[in-house]
Amino acid sequence: MAPKTTHPVLGARALNRATLDRQLLLRPASLGVPEAVEHLLGLQAQNTKPPYYALAARLEGFRPEQLSTLMESRAVARIVTMRSTVHTHTARDAVALRGLAQPGAIDRELALFVSRGGLDGVDLDRLAELARALVEERPRTPKELREELLPHWPDADPQSLSVAARCLLPLVQVTPRGLWERGGQVALTTTDRWFADSDGPAAGGPADLDETVLRYLGAFGPASVKDMQAWCGLTRLGPAFERLRPRLLAFQDERGTELFDLPDAPRPDEDTPAPPRLLPEFDNLLLS
């Protein structure tokens, strides 16, 4: 989206300091673990250890057991959301942000497997029904899902069947997968089943897009429309930013790209000291 007027310019160092501040990386934050995970809209978690390193870099006095305990209590969980990759989210965001992300990269991943022919003749609605019954009976590994589904469609590609189940259903990776100094193979169940006995809210629909734009800017801003699209895997977010324009400030970077931000969000001076921080591979700060 090209700027319609000339906006104040934010140089690279100014943007760097603003983003580091939003990402809780200029100084150790005193937030609790659930509050930090929600503020950051989740932690990239393709591997099991990075969420722990991400919080250690950001939170004052963080201990790995704090996150591990939340995962055991089902207040926090691992689930495919943004960009069709695994993230660690609170229970509320696991449901809401999975719903928001579904029509983006998750549906595109499913469409890719369909286009490759691995799901020829497969009734996807029936597959989702069967897979839900299986994983809600007890958590199943992807291998177990493939073995249970393949007799229904013996000519299908086995891997495509388990990928389709993961794309069609909001599947949580159950513990002990992801626990600190423990572990286990990936085993899956639905958000409905996993959060049924937890203290966190599991019910509800997809996150409101406009509210998510505001949350994204609070954690990653100032940012462009394309920046947010890269983060979440959705497209055509321009209209949402236009709806919110009266509530936002507009800037531009040194290349003239229009940037949006929350009026009261911190934008430190570009000379603000930025101490070194150890970040894990694939941290969302680096990806999006």
Residue 50 is predicted with a pLDDT of 96
Would you say residue 220 lies in a domain? yes
Cα–Cα distances in Å, from 114 out to 4, 7, 80, 262?
Answer: 41, 45, 19, 40
Would you say residue 4 lies in a domain? no
Would you say residue 243 lies in a domain? yes
Would you say residue 237 lies in a domain? yes
Residue 201 is predicted with a pLDDT of 52
Residue 205 is predicted with a pLDDT of 80
Range of the domain at 75: 12-273+279-287
What mean pLDDT is predicted for residues 129-135? 98
Please spell the DSSP secondary structure of 175-192, one letter per residue. Answer: TTTT-TT------EEEHH
Residue 6 is predicted with a pLDDT of 81
What mean pLDDT is predicted for residues 82-111? 96
Instruction: Return left, alpha or beta for 282; rule: phi > 0 is left, psi -120 to 50 is alpha, else beta.
Output: left
Q: Tokens representing 92?
A: 């509320």
Residue 3 is predicted with a pLDDT of 45
Contacts of 199 (CB under 8 A, 6+ apart): 73, 74, 75
Report how many domains make up the chain: 1
Nearest to 71 by CA among 1, 147, 173: 173
Reply yes or no on whether the pLDDT at 187 is more than 80. Answer: yes
What mean pLDDT is predicted for residues 140-169? 96
Question: Which three-class secondary structure state does DSSP give residue 29?
Answer: strand
Would you say residue 5 lies in a domain? no
Would you say residue 6 lies in a domain? no
Would you say residue 21 lies in a domain? yes
Would you say residue 228 lies in a domain? yes
Q: What is the pTM of this model?
A: 0.93
* pLDDT bucket at 172, cuts 50 / 70 / 90: very high
Residue 287 is predicted with a pLDDT of 82
What mean pLDDT is predicted for residues 251-271? 96
